[in-house]
Chain A
């Protein structure tokens, strides 16, 4: 590029690089404070149930245990969620997944903590669990939230899809399915809560969104936003898996009641069990083109299971819909998506928000089309590629910064050089 910059574009050493290399970076689990307590969550071992009785007395009576709390101990709102506030900090009405939080415990040592957790018992009234998309939609299925198991339904349409398909020389139809995945960030969720010298409720946590965390902690404790301070600790990877509340609210609640610092570090197993997963998707696609490879029409149907709580489900469904055509100009498009609640692990944000899933579909369709008409897979993409002036299915006109064709050409050129 012709632009001359002094700093931009240069491979400057990362501002936090030296500490990471030396191993001196402080992650949330490295924090330690005087009189600090260790906290952990008592979780459900059934996926769908009401709690008949929670037996906390024995744990409370154990020497060295400073707090055993359930939902009665929450001074403010017992619901959080980035878009829809449907997840309890501690279960009040019912359990919606394996691993739902029923109680939190703070103790003077990790050993006492473990002993206390083993003393907690629970009687459940179990409800039929829903584990499949199909069952969630049946009329006699139990309802997980509110009045329907449908989390969200979206419809996108432009042009005249049915007419356009009639004029296509080639139609490609496939059903794609993608699976549930875990972020497996290297550092499991961790945090520490304490009152600072000014009496401010402070939470240091591994997170992707400290200001959102602040608002949720304040709402849980019934405090004004400026009475809560959240500090992002150095974070050991996230990939979307640390966008939801993890330990922040549980830690803060224990500190609120004990007035002491409380640290929580999830085990790998606990972290994976309750953090959001990638939405598994089933995607039906029908693509119509002319025999010289020009895309004319596309029809897409997406079904997904958002699990027990909304989390980033509404963001995933919307983004998947907008991106379902791939980076190609298709004048006639109809897409429908349905996400349902189930008692499966919560699906949420994961690097790409549904776009990796729909890319499996739109690229599968492009490659199938290229094979069918005997065209080079790069060439067919160039023919249909977004460029300046292209109109998207949403009606938006691309006005600048569209380098798609250049990525195709440059990749082809380099591949010719380095691939066998």
Chain B
């Protein structure tokens, strides 16, 4: 028999290392033609930190995205970015990028203000133009600005680093400030369970994430979708088996360690929630790890809802479903009320 169920799972996630300093740095130079070189340590592992940093620099400098060239993860060229872990690079390297850009922009603003006859703080930098706030007629192109910079013998360079505000946790009771900011998420999913084969089909998933501020919408949605699928594997398909004879891993290859394929991907509805006032760049937080977490308890809860059986042990493989269904039937036959 096929039975359907729904489940809810929520999570929170502190961004950055727990109660420890974990700074990251960035360098920037705006070149004579209004393009920019941006350098930072943060390793992009496919999640898109390189793209996010280019977007942050473009926004901060007021140039278009395509004008920013990024270089990352080369210890002879880029400053230390720390580990790409703890969902920390958008917050930490992101703020370092903004600080570097602010420094470069300080020099640019002085030169632009002198040219336009206004104060540096009155200037708006966007779309390769510098304009006086509230007066669109007082304006110059970045191209002109860089020519003025050349004449003045000035350079638009910046270096910045950022370390999130945390405290060491008390060794007695762990009190203190473990993280500067937290991401939150809630996932609701629907599953269909085959009580005979024990197969669980995840049908639809809604996953709402408080990301602070979206930097790149399709990348965040991609993170959330990827996390959902990895979470399906976590609950329903994957388990490392260790030999109790020699401690070796019995299933170290894909033919024996089964992960979800494209055929397993459910309908996924990512929802981006933006919350104000966070310390990150434009308020952004991290989503890399949050993307995975809430789907895990949500699937467990949906199976419980479908079968009216509790599961406290993961993974939940088809044999576990079949065993649980059988046990419930036996209990019912014996007159045990669940």
Contact = CB atoms under 8 A, between A and B. Distances in A.
Interface of A: 1, 3, 5-12, 14-17, 45-48, 82, 97-99, 129, 131, 154-158, 174-182, 184, 200, 207-212, 214, 228-232, 235-240, 242-243, 268-269, 271-273, 277, 312, 315, 318-319, 321-323, 326-327, 343-345, 349, 351-353, 355-356, 359-360, 363-364, 366-368, 377-378, 381, 386, 393-396, 398-404, 406-408, 410-412, 414-415, 418-420
B58 A209 contact: no
B257 A182 contact: yes
Nearest to B56: A8
Interface stretch (B111-119, B142-150, B181-189, B329-337): B181-189
B51 interface: yes
B215 A345 contact: no
B305 to A, nearest CB: 9
A349 B84 CA distance: 11
Nearest to A388: B277
A367 B301 contact: yes
Interface residues of B, number: 124
A322 B190 CA distance: 30
B286 to A, nearest CB: 12
Interface stretch (B99-107, B132-140, B193-201, B243-251): B243-251
A363 B184 contact: no
A403 B274 contact: yes
A61 B246 CA distance: 31
Given A367-B297, A402-B184, A235 B46 contact: yes
Contacts of A212: 82-83
A9 B58 CA distance: 12
22 contacts: A3-B282, A8-B55, A156-B173, A177-B314, A184-B259, A209-B85, A211-B41, A235-B43, A272-B257, A273-B249, A312-B85, A322-B174, A322-B178, A327-B10, A344-B242, A344-B247, A360-B297, A360-B300, A381-B8, A394-B169, A396-B178, A400-B279
Contacts of B181: 400-401
A420 B4 contact: yes
A367 B75 CA distance: 48
Given A14-B219, A157-B173, A323-B13, 18 more contacts: A14-B51, A178-B314, A179-B239, A229-B76, A232-B44, A318-B169, A322-B14, A327-B182, A353-B289, A356-B234, A360-B300, A363-B298, A364-B297, A402-B184, A407-B184, A412-B188, A418-B269, A419-B206
Contact of B73 (A182, A210, A312, A386): A210
A9 B9 CA distance: 26
Contacts of A351: 227, 230, 288-289, 292
A199 to B, nearest CB: 13
Contacts of B234: 181, 356
B90 to A, nearest CB: 11
A399 B239 CA distance: 40
B75 A231 contact: yes
What 10 pairs across the A-B complex have the smallest Cβ distances?
A232-B73, A403-B210, A401-B278, A363-B297, A400-B277, A403-B275, A272-B252, A47-B247, A327-B12, A404-B184
Given A323-B14, A402-B182, A209 B84 contact: yes
Contact of B300 (A10, A321, A364): A364
Contact of A10 (B14, B172, B217, B289): B217
A367 B65 contact: no
Contacts of B172: 155
B11 A327 contact: yes
B273 A419 contact: no
A326 to B, nearest CB: 7
B110 interface: no
A349 B315 CA distance: 19
Contacts of A176: 312-314
B314 A327 contact: no
B250 to A, nearest CB: 10
Contacts of A395: 175-176
B81 interface: yes
Interface in B205-248: 206-210, 212-219, 227, 230-231, 234, 238-240, 242-244, 246-248
B186 A381 contact: yes
A386 B126 CA distance: 37
Given A208-B43, A404-B10, A360 B275 contact: no
Contacts of A158: 173, 175
Given A154-B174, A401-B285, A355 B83 contact: no
B271 interface: yes
Interface in B42-99: 43-46, 48, 50-51, 54-56, 58-59, 62, 64-65, 70, 72-76, 80-86
B310 interface: yes
A72 to B, nearest CB: 26
A98 B43 contact: no
Contacts of A97: 247
Contacts of B275: 400-403, 406
B44 A16 contact: yes
A367 B127 CA distance: 49
Contacts of A396: 176-178
Nearest to B292: A351
B296 A359 contact: yes
Nearest to B46: A237
A403 B175 CA distance: 23
B204 interface: yes
Given A98-B248, A396-B177, A15 B51 contact: yes
